[in-house]
Amino acid sequence: MASSNCFVLAIFMALSLLNINVGLAARHLLQMPPALPGVTLPPLPSIPNLPQPTLPTTQPSLPKPVALPPLPSMPTLPTMLSIPPLPSMPTLPSIPTIPTTIPFFSPPPSKTSP
């Protein structure tokens, strides 16, 4: 387990150092002069002219829609069986009401009288 953690750490460090070198190389290339004197590039080849395709000016005629056959009639559904009514719910016992106000007690008597 510890060896795999060390391996992952070593790979992470190697990739970090590799990215630093790539960044420094990019900066070095950006700071170089634009072109070397006396070196010329060959001219680019010209793009040949391609023939233009001709498009038809008239649209082809579409086939005429045919009449659809009538839809089949709905089959007859079976009649529902008679289901006995559900029994009535029993009545629940009444729950005593909870008081909504809290009574406040009087403060204790003071030791000195005013």
Q: Which amino acid is at 103?
A: P
Q: For position 114, what pLDDT does the model report?
A: 58
Give me the numbers of helices (H) and strands (E) for the chain, helices first please.
Answer: 1, 0
Query: Of 9, 28, 7, whose CA–CA distance to 17 is shortest?
Result: 9
Q: What is the pTM of this model?
A: 0.23
Percent of the chain having pLDDT more than 90? 0
- Classify 55 as helix, strand or coil: coil
pLDDT tens digits for 44-75?
889 888 888 888 888 888 888 888 889 888 88
CA distance 12 to 6: 10
CA distance 24 to 75: 82
- Classify 12 as helix, strand or coil: helix
